[in-house]
Amino acid sequence: MWFIKKKIKKEPNKLKEVLENWNDEELIEYITYSFSYFHNNNPRIELNRLRGLDKDTITLAIARMIQIEEAYDNSKIASGIVVGTFFIKAVVDFLKFNIDEKSFNYLLSLFYAVVMAAVFFLLVTFGVNKGKKHRSNASRYRSLLEQVKLEKEK
């Protein structure tokens, strides 16, 4: 739940390790924990840790944030929604083929259609929500990394 304070599963030893070796889920969890308004962490400490990184690590981290943003781009879900909708329609048409409209099998096929549509809707909603969270956190962290990189280039 959003109102429960979560601790990150892994404690980072070095920021370089976090940016280069942790998987996407753990990295986003770390970013959320470090910059969240709901935790007692000071974002300035994290910003100073970013300033302590070398330029190569910052460049690789920016590339990784861009990759995370592209991987969780919700605009790519639209094609899946269209295909899923046609799939559900095809299954419903298959199930009610040669069935009398007043029979139990017809009602059962409609029930299957409603259940499949509900499951599909929940999966899409979960995917969009997860993608939105990951993408926004990666974008925010990337902008900080770019600012630190500009500071180092001056």
Please provide the average confidence, as pLDDT, over all residues in the chain: 78
Residue at 2 is within a domain = no
Domain residue limits at 109:
15-153
Residue with more model confidence, 92 or 24: 24
Say how many domains are in the chain.
Answer: 1
Residue at 9 is within a domain = no
For the chain, where are the alpha helices, taking DSSP H only?
Answer: 15-21, 24-35, 43-51, 55-71, 77-95, 104-153
Residue at 33 is within a domain = yes
> How far is residue 56 CA from its own chain's centroid?
26
- In which residue are the tokens 């990666």 written? 138
State residue 142's pLDDT score.
Answer: 92
Residue at 3 is within a domain = no
CB contact set of 97 (below 8 Å; sequence gap of 6+): none
Residue at 123 is within a domain = yes
Q: Distance between CA 16 and CA 64 in Å, rounded?
A: 12
- Residues 64 and 139: beta-carbon distance below 8 Å: no
pLDDT (tens digit, 9 = 90+) per residue, 70-91?
888 777 777 777 777 777 777 7
Residue at 120 is within a domain = yes
Judge whether residue 98 has pLDDT over 90.
Answer: no
Residue at 7 is within a domain = no
Q: Assign residue 126 a region (left: φ > 0; alpha: ψ between -120 and 50; beta: otherwise).
A: alpha
Residue at 10 is within a domain = no
